[in-house]
Amino acid sequence: MKNKSTPELSSLGLSDIAPVLNLILAGSRAGHFTSLYLQWLYVAGLAKQLFGLKFTSRITLPDGSSHQASTKVLRVNGDFAGFFILRNEERTITELYMCAVLPQLCGQGIGTWMLKAALDALPDRHIVFADCLPSSLAMLHVLRGLGFEEIHRGPEGGCRMCLVIDRIASKPSEMGERQAA
């Protein structure tokens, strides 16, 4: 990170729901999340999802399906700075459902730190997907920097990214030792 801030991740608290919702709405206005989130019915649905995450560790999607999920809040020097939501699709497959950092903290490496911490907590041989809208160039850059690869590009320019967590293969010294043995 470029500054001397102290980032930390914590569980989603009741007092975090409004800042998370406001950050999603600001991101939607900037084109980083779907503009549907700006419609009152979707705002209500997002609030319901966040309360569900807080109390049940599950997220209910608009199609009615319910998935186990985890949410962490990013704090910098104790203050709300961002969040991420990981939605479990299967035992070894997770979707980076949503994440954001306060605009004034963008470009400082804090979002990368947050996502790296999220990925480090996942088990080896885990597959992680993330979808990026065309206007989310910074997110695309962060995901590529963390090792995600583009696996699909949509007709409107958005893309689906994928990362397979493979800590064994990512340690060059161990790979050399294995090949020598």
Find the angle CA(9)-CA(84)-CA(119) to the nearest 5 degrees: 75
How many Å apart are CA 120 and CA 162, to the nearest integer? 15
**Domain-located, residue 2:** no
For the entire predicted model, the pTM comes to: 0.86
Query: CATH number for the domain including 149?
Result: 3.40.630.30
| Amino acid (one-letter) located at 165 | I
Which residues constitute the domain of residue 28? Answer: 7-180
**Domain-located, residue 48:** yes
- Count of CB atoms within 10 A of residue 86's CB? 23
**Domain-located, residue 17:** yes
**Domain-located, residue 55:** yes
**Domain-located, residue 1:** no
Residues 6+ apart with CB under 8 A from 137: none
pLDDT at 154: 81
**Domain-located, residue 153:** yes
H runs (alpha helix) in the chain: 17-29, 40-56, 110-120, 137-145, 172-180
Label residue 157 by pLDDT band (50, 70, 90).
Answer: confident
Number of domains in the chain: 1
For 77-123, what is each residue's pLDDT tens digit?
999 999 999 999 888 999 999 999 999 998 889 999 999 999 999 98
- Count of CB atoms within 10 A of residue 146's CB? 16
DSSP 8-state secondary structure symbol assigned to residue 31: T
**Domain-located, residue 51:** yes
For 7-38, what is each residue's pLDDT tens digit?
999 999 999 999 999 999 999 999 888 888 89
pLDDT at 173: 44
